[in-house]
Amino acid sequence: MARAGRVLAVKWGMNPNSSSLGVDVTFLLAGATVVAALTPLGGALLRLRRPTLAGPPPESPPRG
Amino acid sequence: MAERSARLEAFGAIVQLRRPRALAFVDRAWARRRLGVGGAPALWRDPAADGDIGRAPLSAPLEAHLQLTNRCGAGCQGCYTGASPQGAPGEWGLARWKRAIDELAAMGVFHVALGGGESTLLPWLGELARHARARGLVPNLTTAGLEGLEALLPIAHLFGQINVSLDGLGPTYARVRGFDGFARVDAALVALRLIKREIGINVVVTRENFAELGAIFAHARRRRLHEVELLRFKPSGRGAAAYARLRCTDAQHRALLPVVLAAARRHRMRAKLDCSYTPMIAHHAPAPAMLAQLSVYGCTGGDFLVGAKATGAVTACSFAAPPPPAADGARPTVDELARYWRRDDAFGAFRTWQAAAAPCASCAYLRLCRGGCRVVSAHTLGDAAAPDPECPRVVDAGGGRRRSLPLASPAISG
């Protein structure tokens, strides 16, 4: 039977800042247990939304 | 055209959620099962890369930061782009930026963050935002809130989120920016929030406003804003000359995370820290696995994000200088990003973090932090690949020594 797969990480929110990449640290207030639950929550939401792949898969760039 | 919902990566795939807004990184098995990926995609040739974010640069950035113009009349003393009322020579117009959007969409970029200078001064800003939407990209916007408000209000709905730069309240704003603009910026916040929910503020943190962070969060709460994003002061543009005077102290860097979390809790406000603050998060030793799940990364210039100057020149991030020109004198431009992105030497020190020197080489956070801010290292140590000298762990290891600060940043490729 095929493995279900894992959600590795979730980057919450958008980044309107045009100079650098921001990350929501508010979740750190809740502690590791809640953060650990957020990732499966993201997975559950994704399954509900049934995402589709768009466009041809690009080639991977080399590591410099 | 609908927003892009997913794209393949060497580790698996990235999937976009619209409500709530999120980008999820999934492994190959998940992508096979849920996205219906069949066969053997070229990106998945290396079996060891499955599930390993960071093993290779992304196939394309998650987002592009486009400095649409370097025109701005504010004249802030720490402006990281050195913006002026005249703008930069050779700035692109609407047609070229549309081509850039087309290129980014073809590469699979999810979001663009539009900024300047003051991009609300551009009469075609709304048309470009519509073009991004039409190509499946979410346009977001940063504005100083000092000019262009009348033009922005009718097109505010086109943006996913708008952040207004607010570096202090009342007289603190004047101390940080060099002029009294608080009332104007605050009025812009009120006007934007009346018509749009996704309005936040960007706060460049300096030693002048650090003590006021709690009050800034309280103000954001009073204005019913979406979030507060805190940015580290960067030695770029006019900020290079003001850096020694305005950058935070080591004690402030060490205190940042608890101060921010306490303010976020007290005022029930979302808090974001920019990528250059990851060393200051790691200082408090949170579990690396927890940071990874939240996608807390340090310098991801030339990987998760890419920048473009007002002339279209590609940079690893908004603070970095463009890469050196090729033999024919040409520099890579964002409307031809894909070709440069795949080059072995693309983005110089921004992509060589895995070869970090001590103490980063043995740091448990290297895979997340990636050595801290390359721009700070280049300015302070003259070596963009050196460990971030303001990282508390680097300071404790004796690696935070500074050379005498130059008046202008050395050009760092990226």
- Enumerate the H helices of B4-148 as residue ranges: 28-35, 94-107, 125-134
Better pLDDT: B30 or B413: B30
Query: What's the rounded Cα separation, in Å, for the pair B18 and B30?
Result: 19
Q: Please give the average per-residue pLDDT across B140-161, as a whole number.
A: 97
Asked whether residue B163 carries a pLDDT value surpassing 80, the answer given is: yes
From chain B, pick out residues whose CB is under 8 angstroms from the CB of A53: 5-8, 13, 31, 35-37
The pLDDT value given to residue B408: 36
Look at residue A47 in the predicted model and tell me its pLDDT.
77
Smallest CA–CA distance from A29 into chain B, residue: B261
Q: Is residue B413 scored above 70 in pLDDT?
A: no
Pairing of strands A7-12, B22-27: antiparallel
Cis preceding-peptide flag for B387 (omega within 30 of 0): no
B223 φ, ψ to 5°? -85, 0
C-alpha radius of gyration, chain A, whole number: 16
The arithmetic mean of pLDDT across residues B115-126, rounded, is: 96
Is the Cα torsion angle A50, A55, A59, A61 positive or negative in sign? negative
Whether B88 has a pLDDT exceeding 70, the answer reads: yes
* pLDDT at position B370: 97
ipTM above 0.90, yes or no: no
Condensed to tens digits (0 to 9), the pLDDT of residues A6-52 reads 999 999 888 888 777 888 899 888 877 787 787 778 778 877 777 76
| pLDDT on residue A60 | 52
SS3 (DSSP) at B169: coil
* % of chain B surpassing 70 pLDDT: 96
Question: pLDDT tens digit string along B130-150?
Answer: 999 999 999 999 999 999 999
Determine phi and psi for B25, rounding to 5 degrees: -100, 120
Q: Under an 8 A CB cutoff, do A15 and B290 touch?
A: no
Give CA B87 to chain center in angstroms. 21
Residues B356-398 pLDDT 10s = 999 999 999 999 999 999 999 999 999 999 999 999 999 999 8
Which range is least confidently modeled, A30-39, B12-21, B293-302? A30-39
Distance CA B48, CA A44 (A): 26
Instruction: Indicate whether B403 pLDDT > 70.
Output: no
**B152: pLDDT strictly greater than 60:** yes
Identify all chain B residues contacting A2, using CB atoms and an 8 Å cutoff.
29, 32-33
pLDDT single digits (tens) B352-364: 999 999 999 999 9
- The neighbouring-strand residues paired with B84 are B71
pLDDT digits (tens, 9 = 90+) for B22-76: 999 999 999 999 888 988 899 999 999 999 999 999 999 999 999 999 999 999 9
Mean pLDDT, rounded, of chain A? 76
Residue among B185, B181, B179, B132 nearest B159 (CA): B132
Q: How many contacts (CB atoms, under 8 Å) link A and B?
A: 290
Cβ pair A32:B6 closer than 8 A:
no
pLDDT band at B409 (very low <50, low <70, confident <90, very high): very low
Residue of A nearest to B352 (CA): A64
DSSP H/E element including A9: strand A7-12
pLDDT tens-digit readout, B222-266: 999 999 999 999 999 999 999 999 999 999 999 999 999 999 999
pLDDT band at A57 (very low <50, low <70, confident <90, very high): very low
Say what the pLDDT of residue B400 is.
62
Per-residue pLDDT at B340 exceeds 90: yes
pLDDT at B39: 86
CB B374 within 8 A of CB B389: no
Residue B407, pLDDT score: 35
**How close A38 gets to chain B, by Cα (Å)?**
8
- Residue scoring higher pLDDT (B19 or B82): B82
CB spacing of A29 vs B274 below 8 angstroms: no
Beta strands in B28-87 (DSSP E): 63-67
Average pLDDT over residues B279-294: 94
Within 8 A of B60 by CB-CB distance, chain A residues are 58
Q: Which of A7, A23, A58 minimises the CB distance to B296?
A: A23
Q: Residues near B413 by Cβ (< 8 Å), separated by ≥ 6? A: B320, B321, B322, B323, B324, B347, B348, B349, B384
Q: What's the confidence (pLDDT) of residue B128?
A: 98
Strands B12-17 and B6-9: antiparallel
Nearest Cβ partner for A63 among B56, B296, B341: B56
Q: What is the pTM of this model?
A: 0.92
